[in-house]
Amino acid sequence: MIRSLSGTVLSVESDSICLDVSGFGIEVFASGTLISSAAAGEFLSCRAYMQVSEAGIYMFGFSDETERDLFLEITQVKTMGGKLSIALLRHLDAPSVISAIMSGDPSRLAVPGLGPKRAERICFELRPKIEKKFSSLASFGTPVLPSARSAEGEVIGGLMGLGFSQGEASRAVSQCRAESGERALNEEELMMLALHKLQRR
């Protein structure tokens, strides 16, 4: 079984990475955190899972073992295939998904392609397993909502309006805040810095 991949990034798409592994160009459908850390021409190492089904063979990539384990749990839910499960982790980071499941709040799993009934099923079926396996991560999973009355929330909402996922926008804003140190950033400055960071990736 393939558990990890390492190689040079050939290209980065909105939902996948093409990785040169010993001369083979492998398409890896990736989580949001992995996509945000990838850049064409740079070396990348990631956790991986290869799924073989009637629909074909797919490779999925993750930034760490926690994401991989969570992905495998989600795929056990009825009607949740690999591509839909990775789509969830592309729009929300692992702690946010874990927190939503443990709180029993399917509305926090609202991402494109995942309807409310599937979200409810995920929360219902996985809550006992998630509480047992990932409880230490739940406190870190509260996402910054675009509706929040803050500069961060407004900027994240603006970036999502430009086509970036909530996870990508949240990470970029957090990084910009951290890099600014003691200097306070207004909403316009934060938007410009975060947008520049995302476009550079």
Residue 144: inside a domain: no
Q: Specify whether 80 is located in the same domain as 166.
A: no
Q: Specify whether 126 is located in the same domain as 54.
A: yes
Q: Specify whether 117 is located in the same domain as 66.
A: yes
How confident is the model at residue 148, as a pLDDT? 35
How confident is the model at residue 66, as a pLDDT? 92
Q: Would the CA dihedral through 103, 108, 113, 115 be positive or negative?
A: positive
Residue 189 has pLDDT above 80, yes or no: yes
Confidence of residue 149 (pLDDT cuts 50, 70, 90): very low
Average pLDDT of the segment spanning 116-142: 79
Structural domain harbouring 170: 151-200
Find, among 146, 132, 135, the residue nearest to 98 by Cα: 135
Average pLDDT of the segment spanning 151-168: 76
Average pLDDT of the segment spanning 38-63: 92
Q: Specify whether 160 is located in the same domain as 112.
A: no
Q: Specify whether 9 is located in the same domain as 104.
A: yes
How confident is the model at residue 112, as a pLDDT? 83
> Whole-number mean pLDDT of the chain?
84
Rounded-to-integer distance, Cα 193 and Cα 55, Å: 41
Q: Specify whether 23 is located in the same domain as 75.
A: yes
pLDDT for 8-31, tens place per residue? 999 999 899 999 999 999 999 999
CATH number at residue 64: 2.40.50.140
Residue 185 has pLDDT above 80, yes or no: no
CATH number at residue 162: 1.10.8
Reported pTM:
0.68
175 compared with 16, residue with greater pLDDT:
16
159 compared with 18, residue with greater pLDDT:
18
pLDDT for 60-76, tens place per residue? 999 999 999 999 999 99
Average pLDDT of the segment spanning 81-107: 90
Residue 59 has pLDDT above 50, yes or no: yes
Average pLDDT of the segment spanning 94-100: 89
Confidence of residue 141 (pLDDT cuts 50, 70, 90): very low
3-state secondary structure of 58: strand
Average pLDDT of the segment spanning 166-172: 74
Q: Specify whether 74 is located in the same domain as 132.
A: yes
DSSP string over 1-62: ---EEEEEEEEE-SSEEEEEETTEEEEEEE-HHHHHH--TTSEEEEEEEEEEETTEEEEEEE
Number of domains the chain is built from: 2
Q: Specify whether 130 is located in the same domain as 159.
A: no
